[in-house]
Amino acid sequence: MPAARARADVSTWDVASPRRPGRTPGVTMAGFRVRTAADPVRIVPHPSIMLLVEVGGRSVVDDGAGPRRWGSLAAGLGFGSGGAVAVRPDDVECVEVRLSPAVARRVLGVAPAELENAVVGLDDLWGREAALLGERLSELSTWEERFAATDAWLAWRSAEGPEPDPEVAWAWRRIVASRGTARVEDLAAEVGWSRTRLWRRFGAQLGAAPKRAATLVRFDHAAHGILAGLDPGRAAADGGYADQSHLHREVVGFAGVTPARLAAEPFLAVDDVAWPTRRR
């Protein structure tokens, strides 16, 4: 199918995944070695908070405010929306962690809303702890050792952190389970809250309004369907979109490219390699 034929070649990326799940629910990770790229890699948004703990090299991130060389960083929910963010790896070796927004505050130490779809240095969030984690990972020679060390570190950070309201966490799980098709009014009714209350508490605690979160989850599901070879019409029907034009608008809005070009984005193509089960 056209989408499959256009799939990006990520064979030069060295990607590793943990052999077993981590100890903290809602936390997944993968390891990357990427040589210096000839062209910037566009960030395709996904419904999680992203942490990059760099072991070696540096990435140049251009978020529209000009290129900047980063070390370890954190990026908010839906980071890269509109296709406005590109990364140029410079012989980078890193562990990428994806956090469900329902556990992100416990790990980060701040509410996901404070990231505001932006990128910040991990040292700005964790201080010296961020450098200590990077130094620890650089001393380890295998990905499994690095995954185990990162997993232990994240479990330690999240042990006593604040959790979202049970109603908010439940609403997030329902949005994910429905692949983004759950209606905010129905979620509010099921937890016994007003729509306004759910909207405010959800946004303050998870970093996005529930409708925006649902739209992002729906886009993520459709994007991976297109990556797997579904034509846009079938992806629209499977994803609960009103029609193919609706899908087209949301793909352009989130990824900055048309559905026909989406599978050629390396950041998306490597996703199913790094997270083969795409757990959240």
Q: What is the pLDDT of residue 87?
A: 87
Which domains occur in the chain, in start order? 2-162 (2.60.120.10), 166-269 (1.10.10.60)
Of residues 64 and 55, which shows the higher confidence score?
55
Alpha carbons 122 and 53: distance in angstroms, whole number: 8
Q: What is the pLDDT of residue 84?
A: 86
DSSP calls for 115-167: TTT-EEEHHHHHTHHHHHHHHHHHT--SHHHHHHHHHHHHHHHHSS-----HH
Q: What is the pLDDT of residue 2?
A: 41
pTM of the complete model beyond 0.85: yes
Percent share of the chain, pLDDT over 90? 58
pLDDT band at 65 (very low <50, low <70, confident <90, very high): confident
Q: What is the pLDDT of residue 7?
A: 63
Residue 176: C-alpha distances to residues 39, 136, 238 (Å): 33, 34, 15
Of residues 186 and 69, which shows the higher confidence score?
186
Residue-wise pLDDT for 126-184, tens only, equals 999 999 999 999 999 999 999 999 999 999 988 877 889 999 999 999 999 999 999 99
Among 2-11, 43-52, 175-184, 241-250, where is mean pLDDT lowest?
2-11
Of residues 60 and 235, which shows the higher confidence score?
235
The gap between the terminal CA atoms of the chain, to the nearest Å, is 28
Q: What is the pLDDT of residue 90?
A: 76
Q: What is the pLDDT of residue 16?
A: 93
Q: Is residue 82 a contact partner of residue 254, using CB atoms and an 8 Å limit?
A: yes
- DSSP symbol at 81: G
CA 89 to chain centroid, in Å, comes to 18
Among 67-71, 130-134, 249-253, 255-259, where is mean pLDDT lowest?
67-71
Q: Is residue 165 a contact partner of residue 205, using CB atoms and an 8 Å limit?
A: yes
Among 21-25, 88-92, 179-183, where is mean pLDDT lowest?
88-92
